[in-house]
Amino acid sequence: MYDFLVVGAGPSGSRFARSAAEAGRDVLVLESGEIGRPLACSGHVSLDVWEFVPDDARDRLRQNEIYGARFHLGGADSPSHPFYKETVVSNAIDRVGLDETLAECAREVGATVRTGHTVTGVTERTDRVEIEANGPDGIERFEAKLVCGADGPRSRVRSQLGLPEPDELLHGVLGFDPEPDHDDFVDVHLTVPRFFAWRIPRGEAGVEYGLAVEPGEDASGRFEELVADYGADIDRRCSGAIPIGPPDRTTGRRSFLVGDAAGQTKPFTGGGILYGMRAADVAARTIDPERPSTTEEYERAWRSELGRDQTIGKVIRAGYSLPEPIQRAGMRAFSGEIGVHMDRPTSLFSTEQLRAMLSWK
């Protein structure tokens, strides 16, 4: 019987597996496909990501350094309002490589990671959890003291255990133009209802175009308009779901969710790589497999770690739907150098942000 069976080897599952195995737990990770594939993510992350991978992985994973974002209320040729720092704010990274690196880190400290195993059944018993998976040799059964659902936005673990769904699931679409681009800025277009479209220069890896929309909106049609507007030549595309708004509960009697499965994303960008890994560390620190009731401690602790940033993130997202004249006035008033940390909107109220605002007025 394993201490923890982790479903999903994305950033959240692999990070939890690594942290739990480092703490001496016996951990099995089951991943349905190959690690990191298929890609459905921009891999645009704050520099905090480097705290989670070995130093020697940086050069391999980093594709481009970003200093800020140009916000547009219209399309490619519309006026832009830059928000930036004098130093690097974020990186575009190789997301498949990140997942492979994190899974390797988990293996190195003793976790077992098996690919090609799709979890199809999860049953909580009084003294254990029973997990059924479909693998290369057919149906296999496993037992663990607790199950960690790190299986992404459409979590099977969540639905099997009857845990509530996130508030929303946006539909994200991405496409890549192979032409290298080392620009320092991403472009953000507030042209999509209640969210945005983007252009990310990825160095030698080309340029990524993308957007996310609510269910019922025409994601493909809007994506075609975006790339036509830029005159981009897209050679491959992909799509994925983005959960916004964490469910009221993310834990069961012998179960807990991390990452997208738990809605641990930034409401104003949909970014979840770092929130998921931070929550995974909270889970490894707070949950004791011998005392399943410690999942309640995790429920409290991850909300205390991310909750305020998620609340302010929702307010920022509401700004995407304001009438255009108000958006334009806001952009003019606040664009320029910023002090805010992209994963921590609470830093909008920091002395660094205040200093940045005073220095350019």
Ligand X SMILES: Cc1cc2nc3c(=O)[nH]c(=O)nc-3n(C[C@H](O)[C@H](O)[C@H](O)COP(=O)(O)OP(=O)(O)OC[C@H]3O[C@@H](n4cnc5c(N)ncnc54)[C@H](O)[C@@H]3O)c2cc1C
- What are the residues binding ligand X (CB under 6 A)? 7-13, 30-33, 40-45, 118-119, 150-152, 156, 172, 174, 210, 240, 242, 259-260, 265, 270-274, 276
Closer to ligand X by Cβ: residue 47 or 357 = 47
CB count, 10 Å around CB of 166?
23
Beta bridge partners of 336: 83
Q: In angstroms, what is the minimal distance from the CB of 180 to ligand X? A: 19
Q: In angstroms, what is the minimal distance from the CB of 360 to ligand X? A: 27
- 96, 113, 121, 247 from 169: Cα distances, Å: 22, 28, 23, 12
Nearest one of 244, 245, 250 to 149, comparing CA atoms: 250
Q: Is 201 helix (H, G, I), strand (E, B) or coil?
A: strand
Q: In angstroms, what is the minimal distance from the CB of 76 to ligand X? A: 20
Closer to ligand X by Cβ: residue 241 or 331 = 241
Nearest one of 180, 340, 355, 353 to 269, comparing CA atoms: 340
Q: In angstroms, what is the minimal distance from the CB of 118 to ligand X? A: 4
**From the centroid of its chain, how far is CA 115?**
21
Q: In angstroms, what is the minimal distance from the CB of 278 to ligand X? A: 11
Residue 223 neighbours by CB under 8 Å, 6+ apart? 173, 175, 197, 209, 210, 211, 237
DSSP tag of 228: H
Q: In angstroms, what is the minimal distance from the CB of 134 to ligand X? A: 9
Nearest one of 28, 2, 18, 44 to 196, comparing CA atoms: 44
Report residue 30: phi and psi, to 5°: -115, 125
Closer to ligand X by Cβ: residue 33 or 221 = 33
Closer to ligand X by Cβ: residue 8 or 267 = 8
Whether 176 and 237 have beta carbons less than 8 Å apart is answered as yes
Q: In angstroms, what is the minimal distance from the CB of 92 to ligand X? A: 8
CA 298, CA 291: separation in Å to the nearest integer? 12
**Burial of residue 333, with CB atoms counted within 10 A of its CB: 0-12 exposed, 13-18 middle, 19 or more buried:** exposed
Whether 181 and 206 have beta carbons less than 8 Å apart is answered as yes
Q: In angstroms, what is the minimal distance from the CB of 63 to ligand X? A: 12
Closer to ligand X by Cβ: residue 32 or 335 = 32
Closer to ligand X by Cβ: residue 201 or 356 = 201
Closer to ligand X by Cβ: residue 3 or 99 = 99
Report residue 213: phi and psi, to 5°: -135, 165
Closer to ligand X by Cβ: residue 66 or 356 = 66
Beta bridge partners of 69: 83, 186
Q: In angstroms, what is the minimal distance from the CB of 168 to ligand X? A: 13
Q: In angstroms, what is the minimal distance from the CB of 270 to ligand X? A: 5
CA 117, CA 33: separation in Å to the nearest integer? 7
Closer to ligand X by Cβ: residue 10 or 201 = 10
- 71, 241, 308 from 262: Cα distances, Å: 29, 13, 16
Closer to ligand X by Cβ: residue 152 or 246 = 152
